Amino acid sequence: MTRFAAPIAEQIWDMKYRLKDGDGTARDLSVEDSWRRVARSLAEVEKDQAAWEDKFYHALEDFKFLPAGRILAGAGTGRAVTLFNCFVMGTIPDSMAGIFDMLKEAALTMQQGGGIGYDFSTIRPKGADVMGVAADASGPLSFMDVWDAMCRTIMSAGSRRGAMMATMRCDHPDILNFIEAKQDAARLRMFNLSVLVTDDFMEAVKADASWELKFGGKVYHTLEARDLWNKIMRGTYDYAEPGVIFIDRINKMNNLNYCETIAATNPCGEQPLPPYGACLLGSINLARLVKDPFGKDAGMDEEMLSDLVATAVRMMDNVVDASRFPLEQQAQEAQAKRRIGLGVTGLADALLMVGLRYGSEEAAAATEKWLKMIARASYLASAELAKEKGAFPLFDADKYLASGSLKEMDQDVKDAIAKNGIRNALLTSIAPTGTISLYAGNVSSGIEPVFAYAYTRKVLQKDGSRTEEEVVDYAVKMYREKFGESAALPEHFVNAQTLAPLDHVRMQAAAQKWVDSSISKTINCPEDIAFEDFKEVYMEAWDSGCKGCTTYRPNDVTGSVLSVSESSEKAPESDEGAEVVYLSEPLDRPQQLEGNTYKVKWPDSEHALYITINDIVVGGHRRPFEIFINSKNMEHFAWTVALTRMISAVFRRGGDVSFVVEELKAVFDPRGGAWMKGKYIPSILAAIGGVIETHLIETGFIEGEGMGLKTDPHADVVAIGEKPRGKACPSCGQYDMRMVEGCMTCASCGHSKCG
């Protein structure tokens, strides 16, 4: 018997969380071994290690508690990795030396795999005077470009690129340029952007008042608040960015507002953090805690939930001591406040099991009730930990209990905190759970609705072919097991595509009442939503108490997402918009091919590299077919032959192969790169990637440097039914990308830009 509820779950475990040696030999022989490794590691700081190891193991068992991927993959491995997911870096000084010190810190953090956030509002605007030199400032956007280039260069831990969040205040003089920055498809691709919206600004928008853009006490521009609001709204309507963060609300509701000020979040927005703030994440799998699912007595097992939350809080508190940190400032900040982010996943599935329609007032009420139970259990458990191990060092009882999010907490919880203190300054957060939700058997992600109740996934086999595999939502699988495979799904089975946007907002607002950090959530909007209705989504998010808002409206710019079929008889059941069949066998090589040869002279190398790329014409379009890399330097022989064979094999499989460019360009040599034609190239492999990119641009395969396909990306793909939509996954090449929890995530392999 396998513990995995679906084949994709076992594949995710094997790819991402299973401990293996450098040669690929598995050290975790089963998922039970992985649970035992993590449990043993997190129990090492306990006095009774054996007892707590068993307690922690049973929390992990059957995917009831899901620590974030970095904990599952890193705890107990002996590897020098951070177990924290989220970092906000130090405040950027408004000086050249200070700016590049911050860049160095960002690079060191990304090397260990942390996603980072930065507030660029502290950098003087473009055109401002620079004291001491006869020059004007280049502005924060120019330095964001430098950060973006750095991020593209560094591969984060586990071969995952770093993700970054950039924020800017709504009163910064460069805010208009910030809003429009990513409308250039080649710019700031490693960043998510969010505007820090203040209470004063929202009041000015509602009052149709003027708004000043200022820096350092100087007013640079004055404009109408509604004009700026419309600019923000138009940007996210057309381009899905920037997001909106209600920063004053975040600071007012922060338990630590007496000792910190927040100006940025992690890449997905669920963790507003102070300078050098770090947070680790974990999720309670609500789909595993429903008693009598789909039965007449269906309901949340409240006793099991409270016990599991208490165990999870203790485990996550122990991670604070077990983890390494890229920077000493981050370690000090984590130890001083012991912040954790315990959230949920499987909410939508749990609602289905108890007969509630996601988005309804009844579902919102249940969500609020469950989240309050988790908050209560978390705070009581942390107070008990403080009694045993001590409160977090910066705890001040009077100030803490007077903070925003504690005002509505039950009196018995406040009494426990007043008596014992509290171990963790903040405890709850709802983070993206796309990958761990697949690992847990394809439960619904976070507090999102189910995206599709079933879809077909293409699985790459060892011989290069792809087989089809049905991936079924966890709750649907349980329903069919109970009522039969042919049983029609009840009317309360709704999905992300058919929900009204304001239903999404209602659910986010209900959850936010009892989450002391924030929530990563995508509000899906139909492509044909009117602009005024779209703006109303954000205004409702503000009015209902949300701390931020992220929407996704599919269009020609953002890319469409997979659609879900509908019928009049029953609710949406299967995903049928992306039936794509890749070439399962390599293309035959014609007798003659047209190609080009390029010379690369790497500094300090005795011999040049000669790179030949040959093309084939498919569907009237020229595309790369093979590559040859040659050098007289015998030290290069083995890796150039290997690279020749591997890249040529990729080219011959078809699809969007432009990801090869990005993978090569992202490789950096620890010995240093070189300047070539006025640009810094981080490695000889990156130089080869640049040559391939140049060739693809010249032959019309891609639009330009750092850009996507120029010709029909499906010219060499057979489509069944209709033309595939959306962008291909950069990891597996499948057209299964969907916007979930504020991040583009692949349903086929679990790849996420946000890590």
Active-site positions read 266, 268, 270
Strands (E), 128-208: 129-130, 135-136, 155-156, 160-161, 164-169, 191-197
Q: At what angle do helices 361-389 and 411-420 cross, to 10 degrees?
A: 20
For residue 562, CA distances in Å to 7, 466, 577, 722, 745 come to 21, 20, 5, 12, 12
Assign 304 to helix, strand or coil: helix
Q: Residues 6 or more apart from 551 whose CB is under 8 A from it?
A: 236, 240, 501, 522, 523, 524, 525, 534, 537, 538
Assign 164 to helix, strand or coil: strand
* Residue for token pair 């750095």: 150
Can you tell me the distance from the alpha carbon of 32 to that of 39, in angstroms, rounded to the nearest whole number? 10
Can you tell me the distance from the alpha carbon of 509 to that of 364, in angstroms, rounded to the nearest whole number? 8
Q: Answer yes or no: are the C-beta atoms of 67 and 316 closer than 8 Å.
A: yes
Closest CA to 708 of 577, 557, 561: 557
Token code pair at residue 392: 């977090």
Can you tell me the distance from the alpha carbon of 355 to that of 80, in angstroms, rounded to the nearest whole number? 46
Closest CA to 315 of 472, 452, 424: 424
Can you tell me the distance from the alpha carbon of 532 to that of 182, in angstroms, rounded to the nearest whole number? 23
Q: Answer yes or no: are the C-beta atoms of 177 and 187 closer than 8 Å.
A: no
Q: Answer yes or no: are the C-beta atoms of 264 and 561 closer than 8 Å.
A: no
DSSP 91: P
**Residue 491, class by beta-carbon neighbours within 10 Å (0-12 exposed, 13-18 middle, 19+ buried)?**
exposed
Token code pair at residue 290: 């429903």
Q: Answer yes or no: are the C-beta atoms of 164 and 684 closer than 8 Å.
A: no
Token code pair at residue 486: 């042919």
**Residue 406, class by beta-carbon neighbours within 10 Å (0-12 exposed, 13-18 middle, 19+ buried)?**
middle
Residue 2 phi, psi (nearest 5): -95, 150
For residue 512, CA distances in Å to 143, 368, 544, 620 come to 34, 8, 10, 53
**∠ Cα 291 297 301 (to 5°):** 30
Q: Answer yes or no: are the C-beta atoms of 729 and 722 closer than 8 Å.
A: no
Q: Residues 6 or more apart from 727 whose CB is under 8 A from it?
A: 559, 708, 735, 737, 744
* Helix residue spans in 323-448 (DSSP H): 328-337, 347-353, 361-389, 397-401, 411-420, 434-439
